[in-house]
Amino acid sequence: MSNISTNIANVATTGHKLQNTHFQTLLNHVTLGPQSFFSVQTRDTRQVDKQGFLQTTNRTLDLAINGRGFMVTNTATDGSGIWQYTRDGALEGESTRPATDSDKDGKLDQATLLTNVSGA
CB atoms within 10 A of CB 120: 19
Distance separating alpha carbons of residues 87 and 115, to the nearest angstrom: 13
Whether the per-residue pLDDT at 31 is higher than 60: the answer is no
Q: What is the pLDDT of residue 96?
A: 82
Domain residue ranges in the chain: 1-47, 50-120
State pLDDT tens for residues 94-118. Answer: 888 788 888 889 888 888 888 888 8
State pLDDT tens for residues 63-89. Answer: 888 877 888 999 888 889 999 988 888
* pLDDT band per the 50, 70, 90 thresholds, residue 37: low
* pLDDT band per the 50, 70, 90 thresholds, residue 33: low
Distance separating alpha carbons of residues 91 and 104, to the nearest angstrom: 30
CA distances from 38 to 28, 29, 69, 99 (A): 6, 9, 40, 68
Whether the per-residue pLDDT at 52 is higher than 90: the answer is no
Q: What is the pLDDT of residue 1?
A: 76
Residues 6+ away with beta carbon under 8 Å from 102: 109
Q: What is the pLDDT of residue 32?
A: 59
Q: What is the pLDDT of residue 21?
A: 78
